[in-house]
Amino acid sequence: MSTSYPAETLLIEGPDATAFAHAQFSSNVSSLATGQWQFSAWLDPQGRVRALFHLARLADDRYLVLLRGGVAEAVAEALRRFVFRAKLSLTALPARALTAGPIMPLHAISDEAGILSLGCNTHSLQITAADIGDNDWRLPQLRAGWPWLPTQTLNELLPAALSLQRLQAVAIDKGCYPGQEIVARLHYRGGHKRHLHSVTLSQAANAGDMLCHGDREVGCVLDVLTTQDSIAALVVLTDEVAAQARNGHPDPFNDGLMMHIDTSWPA
């Protein structure tokens, strides 16, 4: 099995925590109830995804950010530049382990015996103090199109390529936040030519690999999980290449890699 991912988390706490998160993040933070989580993202002014994460509201003025790729301390340090006079603190927590837990309703939170569990419908994602996590949660999330962003893709991909509107990680009808104009333009005008796909690979690959045809970069690998039966992956592809694959006329990538598209998602 593939290497498990660590739990990179940070806390946002204080009287202005909600206002700050709502202004900086792309989801509708003000609508998030205590005891619930939502997908969210932090975008740069050009609309590219700096960080993708679960945002869990632990209390009225206390939020936990569980990054889906990236390093908590780096994200916390970058966010601190925008605090100004807001009454809040940003604290990167020590890396912990991620494990699969019992079935919980989607978006629910449980915090018992030092284990924070995020409900994911068919399972829960648990943040624990264990030394080693597991991969049991990764395949259902990969197949559901929940992206995990390798370092090479941070600050590179637009929300539409990651299907973030489908996950309600970006909001169209809230006030301004970094990258909001780009998100709205792509929503109303369309035109983005790269989208998210769950695929089965013909051979091993690594998260972060670029996918090339000749001298053209036509996609990237976000996540790979090798099981006893297959090599499952989540990839971003140009619409042209995805259409060729679906029509039964795929060209191998530069390293001879082939893939079968299992599921595709819109923006």
pLDDT tens digit sequence for 234-253: 999 999 999 998 887 778 99
Structure token pair of residue 156: 């590179």
Q: Which of 207, 234, 8, 231 is nearest to 141 (CA)?
A: 234
pLDDT for 129 beyond 50 = yes
User: Buried b vs exposed e over 162-199: b needs ≥16 C-beta within 10 Å?
Assistant: bbbbebebbbeebeebbbbebbeebeeeeebebbbbbb
Q: What percent of the chain has pLDDT over 90?
A: 84
pLDDT digits (tens, 9 = 90+) for 14-65: 999 999 999 999 999 999 999 999 999 999 999 999 999 999 999 999 999 9
In this structure, are residues 56 and 117 in contact, taking their beta carbons and an 8 Å threshold? no
Tell me the pLDDT band of 165, cut-offs 50, 70 and 90. very high
In the chain, the largest separation of any two C-alpha atoms, in whole Å, equals: 57
How many percent of the chain have pLDDT more than 70? 99
What is the 3-class SS of 57-110, one letter each residue?
Answer: EEECCEEEEEECCCCHHHHHHHHHCCCCCCCCEEEECCCEEEEEECCCCCCEEE
| Pick from 18-22, 191-195, 223-227: least confident | 191-195
**pLDDT, mean over the chain:** 94
Ordered by where they begin, the domains of the chain are 6-146 (3.30.70.1400), 193-265 (2.40.30)
Using DSSP's 3-state secondary structure scheme, residue 6 falls into strand
Read off the tokens for 204.
């091993």
Tokens of 31: 């609508």
Asked whether 196 and 141 are in contact (CB, 8 A), the reply is no
* Residue bearing tokens 């936990």: 64
User: Which pLDDT value is given to residue 19?
Assistant: 97
Band (pLDDT 50/70/90 cuts) for residue 159 is: very high
Q: What pLDDT does residue 1 have?
A: 45
Q: Which residues contact 120 (CB under 8 A, 6 or more apart)?
A: 104, 106, 137, 140, 141
The one-letter amino acid code at 89 reads S
For residue 81, pLDDT over 80 is answered with: yes
